[in-house]
Structure 1
């Protein structure tokens, strides 16, 4: 493949990953064309706005749409015409969990390849960024060779974005992982990320299969670490010990590290739950299911924390939630996001309602998404409104504004000052001092 000057970039799929990647590639100075079959979403992006909440993304989108470096389309044929020779075409489509199975659903990825490949009449590189089961990249490469008129190289460049930090994670990543089959594909990605490499970002080159495993292995390790501290919370509750103090001690061990030892309601979102399930499913297909059998328990620990939060709320209500008014502070799966996919907070709210509670939810950013997902719940415009006449308040997502609430003032909002802290980020001594009866995951009775 001939070298070109400034390579043009296209991005297929403009969800969370694709919209962020397209905007950030334009921010690095490339001409970028994003494509999606969702015309409404494309219209929003073309106006320089994000269809979802992500700190800093609107500013990057607006700046680069206004400059002309970033455009959007619904036509896959336009991608190939725009890119020309030497283009780098990124595939950023969603790979959700299959209905009725733990395996990944690759239909959107396959559709994207089928739509793009016939239009690739000039040599280029197609780069997958979606999280996929190991072996998918090789299958994509085979399909591109079958369908594309020109010589097309395939590479895989997994993403490691954290919702709430996606722009920074794209423009200042901790590492770049690329799976390639040729020197041409590697050079194309070195060209794309040249400015990041100049800043010293590690660039790890490997085969396609290993690059796919890096992403799923990283997410599985992270999920395991989160579930480990929550397993310790279960033990602490049984032993009347304090998981918060335990976590503080563990963080001082350099072999363990300081991050992701926050005991609480566990992980959720669009990545970790479906990725660990998909990884385990793929291991079974490869005949090594026993190697990842522990991920089933990692998943189980995570889900048990949700059930335990409901139990604590029920206990504070005297053993029954029927007819009780419950305020749930938080619906997003994490702060700085409006994503409610597999949200532990929203799962708890739904479970409370399932036991007959009258649930009102407040979230600074995720209210609309939560209301679409669970319209039978009540929704409020503020923490105070949600807590009005409540008999128990459940702190479910650790938004900073909840830590700033004055517990003395909040006691005047509710019918009964009962609090369940699912995230262990509130000052429980201050809440107890204001007259609240407090329960918290993994804390001893004295600390509750």
Structure 2
């Protein structure tokens, strides 16, 4: 008989995981402590934008027309304990205020709320990104809090979701990592059953110990962050030397040892994962006495943050040395396309800096407007790209949405005060914009 699955925490990770488990054929019960989230999910709607997720959810939520009924939601911990065989913990692990370290309070609270209700044999599976050493500590805490004689195990199964591709990444992962105390034991067997479909389709399943499983996610994110900051450092050198970072990236990307992905120079990375994960990794390495191993990540972080300031400087120079009285259009508010996530968004950070320096900033983003307004209510917002650029002295392209790549430069040029565009993502067709009479500039590239 297939195990019944619960998902603790129904934010971005949890909502996606719950819907995907239902899609794989399991009965699923999701839990959250926020009533508004539960009401929204029970109605087949999601509190964030993620392509394909709402459709997947609606296909399985009990009570919706035509659904399989395999997915329900609750706020009752006792119901979760009574229902589930495998409990996935998918709560947030943000950066601590004023520190680099990871805030484990949500994970700790979830484990402590769940444990007393584990009255039947249960496997608790952590998916949150946590500091190495957390699983060992949490396994001991579960044993302390579970009812006497309870048969409870812990495993760690880190998530590798990319916003904009979360559904695909869950149903067809490029790898599944399982950290267990006993290789070949009950925990591994149960997780092999849970992931039988993607494994059968060819997704590799890597079984490790607890520390290795915890390190995989932070190591992967640190590598990606390093690659992005590397090409941005090369963009700085290209600007100083008169080189073209786009051609440089193309050339080195043909080397199969390097590859072309994540080699697009621009205003850097942001979001709710990469920045806080590399900082938490540095903090944990310091606690373990291995801080020298990760000192390079400080420079990775530094390069990334200075790209935002560099874009502000380029924009200030482009409008004559001062933003006062200048109209600045910003295309993009989210930290990446195909998402409504504005957490630590380089685009919104640049817009905010220019606004604080006296610029009249108008922002447009296909999906992130509502969230952007909450973070920066003092900025102006437009309902379309054309409306955003109306009367602009300079246009900044800061999030590489497909909609922006497909804009008609000639048509857009009829709305601006000056045909001047700064491409903060090196994603637009420079020749097409120049042919339409625009001055096109991008980070790390020579001026035509």
1:324-353 Cα shifts (integer Å, max 9, x gaps): 111100001111000000111111111111
The answer to whether the 8 A contact 1:134-1:213 is kept is yes
The answer to whether the 8 A contact 1:134-1:212 is kept is yes
What is the CA distance between 1:198 and its match in structure 2?
A: 1.5
1:146-202 Cα shifts (integer Å, max 9, x gaps): 001112100000011100000000000011100001311111101111112211211
1:76 equivalent to 2:72? Answer no
What is the CA distance between 1:247 and its match in structure 2?
A: 0.3
Q: Give distance in 2, aligned partners of 1:132 and 1:78.
A: 27
The answer to whether the 8 A contact 2:330-2:361 is kept is yes
For the residue of structure 2 that corresponds to 1:389, the secondary structure is coil
1:347 equivalent to 2:349? Answer yes
Q: Give distance in 2, aligned partners of 1:403 and 1:212.
A: 38
What is the CA distance between 1:404 and its match in structure 2?
A: 1.2
The answer to whether the 8 A contact 2:82-2:120 is kept is no
Q: Give distance in 2, aligned partners of 1:430 and 1:147.
A: 64
Aligned to 2:90: 92
The answer to whether the 8 A contact 2:156-2:178 is kept is yes
Aligned to 1:368: 370
Q: Give distance in 1, aligned partners of 2:407 and 2:2.
A: 51
What is the CA distance between 1:433 and its match in structure 2?
A: 2.2
Q: Give distance in 2, aligned partners of 1:195 and 1:253.
A: 34
Aligned to 2:385: 383
Aligned to 2:64: none
Pick aligned residue for 2:400 from 398, 418, 441: 398
Q: Give distance in 2, aligned partners of 1:274 and 1:221.
A: 14
Pick aligned residue for 2:55 from 42, 54, 59: 59
1:142 equivalent to 2:170? Answer no
Aligned to 2:2: 6
Q: Give distance in 2, aligned partners of 1:54 and 1:323.
A: 38
1:335-385 Cα shifts (integer Å, max 9, x gaps): 100000011111111111111111110000000010011111111110001
Aligned to 1:178: 178
For the residue of structure 2 that corresponds to 1:101, the secondary structure is coil
Pick aligned residue for 2:122 from 113, 121, 124: 124
Q: Output aligned runs, 1:235-384, within 5 Å.
A: 235-384=237-386
Q: Give distance in 1, aligned partners of 2:126 and 2:325.
A: 50
Aligned to 2:432: 430
Tell me the TM-score normalized by structure 2.
0.97
For the residue of structure 1 that corresponds to 2:60, the secondary structure is helix
For the residue of structure 1 that corresponds to 2:59, the secondary structure is helix
Q: Give distance in 2, aligned partners of 1:242 and 1:110.
A: 49
The answer to whether the 8 A contact 1:89-1:125 is kept is yes
Tell me the TM-score normalized by structure 1.
0.97
What is the CA distance between 1:113 and its match in structure 2?
A: 0.7
1:13-41 Cα shifts (integer Å, max 9, x gaps): 11110000000000000000001111101
Q: Give distance in 2, aligned partners of 1:72 and 1:283.
A: 38
What is the CA distance between 1:50 and its match in structure 2?
A: 1.2
What is the CA distance between 1:231 and its match in structure 2?
A: 0.6
What is the CA distance between 1:322 and its match in structure 2?
A: 1.5
Q: Give distance in 1, aligned partners of 2:78 and 2:358.
A: 53
Which 5+ residue runs of structure 2 have no aligned equivalent? 62-66
Q: Give distance in 2, aligned partners of 1:304 and 1:429.
A: 28
For the residue of structure 2 that corresponds to 1:64, the secondary structure is coil
The answer to whether the 8 A contact 1:263-1:441 is kept is yes
The answer to whether the 8 A contact 1:145-1:151 is kept is no
Which 5+ residue runs of structure 1 have no aligned equivalent? none
RMSD: 0.8
Runs of 4+ in 1 over 6 A off after TM superposition: none
For the residue of structure 1 that corresponds to 2:425, the secondary structure is coil
Q: Give distance in 1, aligned partners of 2:31 and 2:317.
A: 51
Q: Give distance in 1, aligned partners of 2:416 and 2:396.
A: 12
Q: Give distance in 2, aligned partners of 1:357 and 1:71.
A: 48
1:412 equivalent to 2:410? Answer no
Q: Which range moves more in the overlay, 154-163 or 426-435?
A: 426-435
What is the CA distance between 1:445 and its match in structure 2?
A: 2.1
